[in-house]
Structure formats: C-alpha cells, structure tokens
A and B are shown apart, each in its own frame.
Chain A
C-alpha cells in the first residue's frame, strides 16, 4: 500500500501574529514552525496503518527550502521519503495542482492531509485534489480503517457523525481523534537525516487568488469583572443588549 501524506509548515499555535512590510508580509521573527496540527493527525494515522498492515509513506510539502526542518520531522516520525515542491504555497488551487501532479506520477492508494491549514484555514485542498484526480474525497475524517480494498471512515457533520465507506484510492482530510499525535524518537531523528527528500519544481497554471494585505483585529477593551449575577444580567441586557 502506498500512502501520500501532505503537510503544511505553519506557525506554532501559540505564535504571536504580526505583519511587516506595510502589512504585506507575515512577520516570521521569533516564530517557531510546526507541522500543521491536523496534518500531524494524518501522519500519525499513516504510521499506524504502516505498522498494522505495511505501507510505504511519502510526505509532500509545497514550500521553499525553509520548510525542510518541518519535512525532516515528518520523516523522523517514520515516513519513508519526502517530496518538496519548491514554491511558496500561494493558495489552495496552487497547492492542489502540485499535489495532483505528484499523485498522477505515482499510484497512491490514499492521499491524506489535515482538514485545513491553521494559517489560511481554507479547508479546500483535499477536495480540489480529489476533483483534479477524479477521486472521491472525505473530510473531516475522525476515524479511518482499511478493510480489504475499502476504507471505512467516520466523518464529522454538524451535530454528529456520518459513517462512510469508499474504495481505494481516495483523498481524506483528517482531524482528531483519528490517531494520537506522535513525538519523534532519537532513532527516528537520526534516520530521518539520510532519508530521501526530493525537491521538484512547481507546475500548473498558477493561483486563483493573491493576498494583497494583512490586518490584525482591533484590540479588545478591558474586561468588566462583576461581583454578582444580577450585575452581569443587567450588563448583558442593557449594555450588550444580547438578552
């Protein structure tokens, strides 16, 4: 079985968000980068499948050379090899084109990724890849098991869950609790250094959108701490006017 896991390289969830160059660039100063938390679930599940039934796992990232430490971390978690598409991930359409191009050259049984990136939060890439490759896609997936040639998945829907079955190959956007996040061990970190990380150039006809400017939300006013429930209800009714 061959699994492609697509990962994002994103600021740690506790990063302070700020912008530079007249609010046209994200300020990377002092920011620690991680594998996208949802993508981390996808890797963890791929590793479990590899351990349980045998699989060859390839990690893919669309990003410039700065993302390689993040890709090496995914290799340290147990992926066999990696591909970096050497380009800024401009938008979902651009990234999906790169993933689809790689997948066309390799017969993957499944393509896993997070349900969304935590920087742009689009949640579009898995579905776009599915559409480009004429494959079914499912997201957000909370549980994924393989029985023969069929994937049985639990998908979150508003207010509950849906159970689906689909034959391989397919695309899935993952979220908790599909697997437990993993931490690379020393042996994994050592072997990751010598695993293949192939760099390829981008293809396709480009992005559909461009970011022109960033902005931060207005600063929040100070909290009003009240002593009694009556005071709170009064404020909610007469000041906030939400009751």
Chain B
C-alpha cells in the first residue's frame, strides 16, 4: 500500500504544514509516500519534500483552481498509486478538498488529527474537538482513510533524500470548474497566520488601528504573524483574515503573545493549543492571565516597544 499526501505552496515555497504532513505520512510506515502538488511550483522545491519522507512527487500538468478539480485530481492519484491512505495538512481549503475526495474514494475521514494512529485494535486516531477544548479517540471504519492533521502533530523529518518529480494529467471535467474565480486579494510577503510559529495578537486595549505599528514591529523582530481579537476585526481595525478565535482562525503556534486582549472564552478557543502563551494587559483581573504561561500587568504602549527592543538586542 502507499500513502498520498496533498502538498500546498505559498509564494512558490512548499508550506511548512505540508512538510509536516509528509513527515506524518512517512511515520505511518504504510509503504511509499507519494506527495501530490496541484500548483505551479519549481521542480527543485517539489523534490525537496523527499527530505521530509516522500519517495515521489506527482505534479499536475494543468493548473487546478477549484476544490472540485483538486478532489478529482487527488482521486486520480489515489487510483493510479493504489493508495489506501491520504494525509492533508488541515485548513479551511484543504478540508473541503479532502471531504469531496472522501466521497469519491469511499473513505473514512477525520479532521483535526493530533497524533499518529493506533492500529493495535482497529484503526483509531486522536482528534481535537470543541475547538481545542477536548479530544476524541475516533475509529476509522472504512478501508480507505483520510487524515487531516493539525499543526505540530509530528516533528518535521529532514533525513530523506530528494524525491523524483513526475508529471500527471488530471482528467478535469466541466463540472469541476463551475466555480469561477473572479479575483483575489492576498497579502504577500507576510507570515501566514495558521502557519506561524509565533503569533502576536492585539485587542481593544490598543485603542485604535493607528496603534498597530507596535504590534507589527514586535511581529517583525520575531518573524511572527499578526492576529487580532473579534471586536478588532468587527470594528474593521484589522482584516477578518487576522481574527483569531472560535469563529475566526484557530492557531497553534509555539508562542502566542496577546496584547490588550481580555481573553473571552471565544478568543481562548482559537489559541488554546498554543505551546506557550504570554499575556500583556493593564487589568490584572483579565481572564486571559488564567490561560497564560507568562504575564505582564502593564500598559501595552510602554511594554511592547520595550519588548521589541529587548528581543532585537538578543539577535
């Protein structure tokens, strides 16, 4: 048997989450790992996922624009390789593709997987539920399986060698291209929030969008992505794509720094799988301190610029 991994890129580079998905697939120890790319990425970059554990990379000759077409292409890769397992790095877009694929290949699918499967009795995996507030052990009952994994589920392995890159030509139908993409607004050159190892988020305590410079300065010295609380995105101080929380983006960085955010339960739901949480708030009663590892009770306008300088001094 073999394992298919759907890999994605951002600005020409394979995403770190995709490298993690390849490492996860390798760790399954279920035969050959075949990575599938549906974007225009340079061969050398594609071949580099071999280091993470892929034996081969299949790359589509035609550009794939829709989730429907991506699912068709992946189903073709599954059929041509005889794979029984598909691994994807979880995101809103990959989940939609994987869910369509699950129907096409008759697979059991689990999202938000946080560990390698246990195949001792049946085939079970642990997944995060209630937006990170609990876990469930789930049995996959069908022979074909799709696992959509959360960030930081396994370490990225780097001990493999370059993979061979082969082109394939997915048989996309007109039904697969009924969704027409008419435009796209995307920030370039920024660290993507769901991919980031460090996230610096600001809340209402910052008083207005004009004060976001210090959040961006701190994020820049840390190589971090910037996030915000729901009120901040509701008031249009920051775009919705930066909203972290229950109804926004869920992040699981190594370090989450919350500045001027009180820590409503809905915000905590989006950050509770962070490894370390730092809270900076003037209100020592802010509920966020209870969820934090480290805290400073103080004014963001004083603390944040000092923190930026102190981190710069380390580098």
Contact = CB atoms under 8 A, between A and B. Distances in A.
Interface of A: 11, 13-14, 17, 19, 37-38, 92-93, 96, 115, 118-128, 130-132, 134, 136-140, 142, 152, 156-167, 170, 173, 175-177, 207-217, 220-221, 223-230, 232-233, 235-237, 240, 242-243
Contact of B183 (A17, A37, A121, A162): A162
A127 B100 contact: yes
Contacts of B179: 136, 138, 164-166, 170
A40 B134 CA distance: 23
Contact of A217 (B96, B272, B294): B272
Interface string B117-130: 00000001010111
A230 B109 CA distance: 47
A234 B241 CA distance: 32
A111 B133 CA distance: 30
10 contacts: A14-B265, A128-B99, A137-B67, A137-B96, A158-B241, A163-B181, A164-B182, A209-B108, A214-B135, A224-B293
B139 A212 contact: yes
Given A157-B241, A209-B139, A242-B275, 6 more contacts: A115-B92, A136-B68, A159-B190, A160-B184, A164-B180, A217-B134
A131 B269 contact: no
Nearest to A124: B99
B292 interface: yes
B185 interface: yes
A26 to B, nearest CB: 9
A209 B138 contact: yes
The 5 tightest CB contacts between A and B, nearest first, are: A160-B186, A208-B108, A124-B99, A127-B99, A131-B103
B216 to A, nearest CB: 15
Contacts of A210: 138-139, 141
A211 B112 CA distance: 14
A209 B107 CA distance: 10
Interface in B191-229: 192-195, 198, 222
Contact of B186 (A137, A159, A173, A240): A159
B184 A130 contact: no
B111 A123 contact: yes
B142 interface: yes
Given A119-B129, A120-B129, A131-B104, A232 B296 contact: yes
A242 B254 contact: yes
Contacts of B157: none
B182 to A, nearest CB: 5
Interface string B276-290: 101100001000011
Nearest to B290: A223
B172 interface: no
Interface of B: 10, 66-68, 71, 91-93, 95-100, 102-104, 107-112, 124, 126, 128-142, 175, 178-187, 190, 192-195, 198, 222, 234, 239-241, 246-247, 254-255, 265-266, 269, 272, 275-276, 278-279, 284, 289-297, 303, 306-307, 310-311, 314
A138 B266 CA distance: 25
A111 B136 CA distance: 29
B184 A161 contact: yes
Contact of B111 (A124, A134, A225): A124
A160 B99 contact: no
B141 A207 contact: yes
Nearest to B181: A164
A220 B295 contact: no
B132 to A, nearest CB: 8
Contact of A240 (B124, B276, B296, B303): B276
Contacts of A243: 222, 311, 314
Contacts of A136: 66, 68, 178-179
Contacts of A228: 296
